């Protein structure tokens, strides 16, 4: 029996999508290799059915050097129909749904286990033919840290703010006193720190609010905040978050805002030891630009994939901090490496021009 479980490792069978195989075939192949039967603990067939391999607590035979401390999951598929040497993310929607359910169940049983792909342990492998870790988190971390500079954003691949910056006439390579400035320094008040502290001290308060709407500094901003405030509600160990948005670019901007505030809700709940519950958007002027019509039609014609799942190592929380004047408190902001979006897959990107607005 396995003494510890440090990893949940996801593999693919490296078979063509037309090959409808399962435990029986894999068990036969592994025995032919001289192994003691199927090396995986679970196999997810093309139709989404999960078949048992080895007993969950048994030592597997799926990842050399890590069999003694891991659970192995095999997704059937993973190579091109035309060329079996080419890795290809060709898994079915039912497989993604089953993988999400299975990993969530395993994570409940082994809460400290990290979710990895086979390629994490063997750089020569492309298995399981998709990225197990992925997340667009740059802008939220930029805001949480109180930053307003373009360099951090652009160094991390977020470049769409450049047009608003150039239109504003600014020359200091910042966007002025925008979101991060107001969340962390609204006339000298660190609103985010007060929010996190208030969640712990007065969870039933109706004043758990952060605002970025600062009329006295609006003229210095490259663009007044589109999403300008949010409020947190806590009830029965669950946290809801509602954000307010004056203007929503439905095709390009709104999906990004939903993802950002969803991540913020998860960070706040994690730091407070609560369960993230409802994410609520209160939207003002919602608009689909004329030059986004075709892209929107393409988007709604596509069949969605199963949702990925988020893992946070750390949330937003207050920590004691010692400086030259003695002990004080500071807000701990998660690092990029603390945030994992796992088993994310997507259709090809749909290019659309950014419409610069007021």
Alpha-carbon distances of 334 from 254, 313, 337, rounded to whole Å: 24, 8, 8
- Tell whether the model's pLDDT for residue 38 goes beyond 80: yes
Of the given ranges (139-143, 240-244, 292-296), which has the lowest mean pLDDT? 139-143
What pLDDT is stored for residue 349 in this prediction? 81
What pLDDT shows up at residue 162? 85
> 204 is written with which tokens?
């039933």
Q: What is the pLDDT of residue 111?
A: 80
CA-CA distance, 133 to 140, in Å (whole number)?
Answer: 18
Provide DSSP, 242-290.
EEEEEEEETTTHHHHHHHHHHHHHHHHHHHHT-EEEEEEEEEEEEE--G
Across all residues in the chain, what is the average pLDDT?
89
* pLDDT over 90 (residue 122): no
Q: How confident is the model at residue 284 (pLDDT cuts 50, 70, 90)?
A: very high
SS3 assignment for 38-73? CCCCEEECCCCCEEECCCCCCCCCCCCCCHHHEEEE
- Which pLDDT does position 108 carry in this prediction? 80
What is the CB-side half-sphere exposure of residue 146 using CA atoms within 13 A? 15
DSSP-derived letter for residue 340 is: E
Rounded average pLDDT over 179-192 = 96
- Over range 214-231, report the average pLDDT: 95
* Percentage of the chain exceeding pLDDT 90: 56
Q: Is 293 helix (H, G, I), strand (E, B) or coil?
A: helix
Confidence of residue 135 (pLDDT cuts 50, 70, 90): very low
pLDDT at 244 over 90: yes
Which residues are known to be catalytic? 226
At residue 24, the pLDDT reads 94
The pLDDT confidence band at residue 19, using thresholds 50, 70 and 90, is very high
pLDDT at 79 over 70: yes
For residue 197, name the pLDDT band (cuts at 50, 70, 90). Answer: very high
Domain ranges of the chain: 7-120, 138-342
pLDDT category at 275 given cuts 50, 70, 90 is very high
- Structure-model confidence comparison of residues 275 and 93, the more confident one: 275
pLDDT at position 136: 47
Between residues 146 and 2, the one the model is more confident about: 146
Model confidence at 134, pLDDT cuts 50, 70, 90, reads very low
d(CA 157, CA 140): 13
Say if residue 358's pLDDT is above 60.
no
Evaluate if residue 88 carries a pLDDT over 80: yes
Tell me which CATH homologous superfamily contains domain 138-342: Thymidylate synthase/dCMP hydroxymethylase domain (3.30.572.10)
More confident: 307 or 60:
60
Find the mean pLDDT for residues 330-349. 82
Q: How much is the average pLDDT of 285-302?
A: 94
Fold of the domain spanning 7-120: Lysozyme-like (3.40.80)
């Amino acid at each position: 029996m396995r003494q510890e479980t440090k990893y949940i490792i996801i593999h693919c069978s490296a078979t063509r999508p037309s090959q409808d195989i399962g435990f029986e075939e894999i068990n036969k192949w592994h025995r032919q290799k001289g192994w003691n039967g199927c090396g995986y603990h679970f196999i997810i067939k093309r139709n989404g059915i999960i078949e048992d391999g080895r007993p969950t607590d048994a030592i597997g035979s799926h990842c050399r050097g890590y069999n003694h401390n891991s659970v192995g999951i095999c997704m059937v598929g993973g190579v091109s129909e035309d060329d079996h040497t080419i890795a290809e993310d060709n898994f079915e929607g039912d497989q993604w749904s089953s993988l999400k359910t299975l990993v969530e169940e395993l994570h409940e049983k082994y809460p400290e286990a990290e979710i990895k792909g086979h390629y994490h342990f063997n750089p020569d492998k492309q298995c399981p033919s998709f990225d197990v870790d992925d997340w667009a988190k740059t802008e939220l971390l930029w805001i949480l840290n109180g930053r307003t500079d373009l360099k951090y954003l652009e160094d991390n691949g977020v470049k769409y703010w450049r047009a608003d910056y150039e239109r504003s006439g600014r020359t200091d390579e910042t966007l002025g006193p925008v979101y991060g400035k107001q969340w962390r320094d609204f006339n000298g008040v660190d609103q985010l720190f007060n929010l996190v502290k208030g969640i712990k001290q007065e969870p039933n308060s109706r004043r758990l609010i952060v605002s970025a709407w600062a009329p006295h500094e609006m003229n210095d901003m490259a663009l007044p905040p589109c999403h300008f405030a949010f409020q947190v509600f806590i009830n029965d160990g669950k946290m809801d978050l509602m954000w307010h948005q004056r203007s929503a670019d439905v095709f390009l901007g709104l999906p990004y805002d939903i993802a950002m505030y969803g991540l913020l809700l998860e960070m706040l709940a994690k730091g407070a030891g609560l369960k993230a519950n409802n994410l609520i958007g209160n939207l003002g002027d919602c608009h689909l630009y004329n030059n986004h019509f075709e892209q929107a039609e393409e988007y709604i014609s596509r069949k969605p994939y199963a949702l990925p799942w988020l893992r946070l190592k750390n949330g937003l929380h207050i920590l004691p901090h010692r400086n030259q004047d003695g002990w004080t408190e500071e807000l701990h902001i998660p690092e990029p490496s603390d945030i994992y979006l796992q088993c994310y897959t997507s259709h090809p990107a749909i290019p659309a021009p950014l419409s610069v607005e007021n």
